[in-house]
Amino acid sequence: MDASLTSFDALVPAAATVPERLRVVCAEPSIANHFLAELRDVDIQKDSLRFRRNLQRLGEIIATRISAQLSYTPQAIKTPLGEAASQLLRDFPVLATVLRAGLPFHQGFLNYFDQSPSAFAAAYRIEGTAQVQVQLDYLTAPRLDERVLILADPMLATGKSLVQTYRAMLRFGTPRQVHIAAVIASPEGVAYVMREIPEATLWVAAVDEKLNEQAYIVPGLGDAGDLAFGSKI
């Protein structure tokens, strides 16, 4: 296992310090648990359309949770019969994701933050190395200065892809608020991201048991990119 990946318990020994920076959506009963169970199920995984849709659904659920942390402006809305007091989102966040597995998850956020600009990164593991190394080949983003940034990737294994992508994005400006979203995370990945991006709030559907010797999440769900879009050579 990569020595640079600190255990979650070692990084966060006091549970009381966790809730402000780590939000586990499926820790309580909700429909999100049903969608997550279908993503994991080896029989339901055979339906790639359903797999992609469940990633979207979890993106939508986490988008709703994050939306409660954003800024709103009171405004009177004219209706056919009068006026209604309302709260309008002050500015839409920038939505960023890591290709290719992140695309359906990203779409869930975009379904709700439908006026948001998007950023995309192509980051992947370099196979066959002693430690997990990440190659970042492509990155495009709007200006990030004083914006809210939501960086989404369905699988948070080691966390290195997310951290490297985030650091590369900072050349486009410094966000005023950072949210990182994943469907399934490992304890090691959570610890690494929380240590390397202390300004971020981390949103996950579930934190699983561990990383195995190949740095894949156990029990996890397999390769999210392959399950969503087909196997690669």
Q: What is the pLDDT of residues 88-138, one digit of tens each?
A: 999 999 999 999 899 999 999 999 999 999 999 998 777 655 566 778 889
- Amino acid in position 87: Q
pTM, two decimal places = 0.89
Q: What is the pLDDT of residues 159-190, one digit of tens each?
A: 999 999 999 999 999 999 999 999 999 999 99
Ordered domains of the chain (ranges, CATH): 8-229 (3.40.50.2020)
Over the chain, what HEC string results?
CCCCCCCHHHHCCCHHHCCCCEEEHHHCCCHHHHHHHHHHCCCHHHCHHHHHHHHHHHHHHHHHHHHCCCCEEEEEEEECCEEEEEEEECCCCEEEEEECCHHHHHHHHHHHCCCCCEEEEEEEECCCCCCCCEEEEEEECCCCCCCEEEEECCEECCCHHHHHHHHHHHHHCCCCEEEEEEEEECHHHHHHHHHHCCCEEEEEEEECCEECCCCCEECCCCCHHHHHHCCCC
pLDDT at 183: 98
Report how far residue 26's alpha carbon sits from residue 162's, in angstroms, rounded to the nearest whole number: 21
Say if residues 211 and 5 touch (Cβ distance below 8 Å): yes
**Predicted confidence (pLDDT) at residue 70 exceeds the cutoff of 60:** yes
pLDDT at 17: 46
Using a pLDDT cut of 90, give the percent of the chain over it: 82
Say if residues 161 and 153 touch (Cβ distance below 8 Å): yes
pLDDT band per the 50, 70, 90 thresholds, residue 8: low
pLDDT at 157: 95
pLDDT band per the 50, 70, 90 thresholds, residue 11: very low
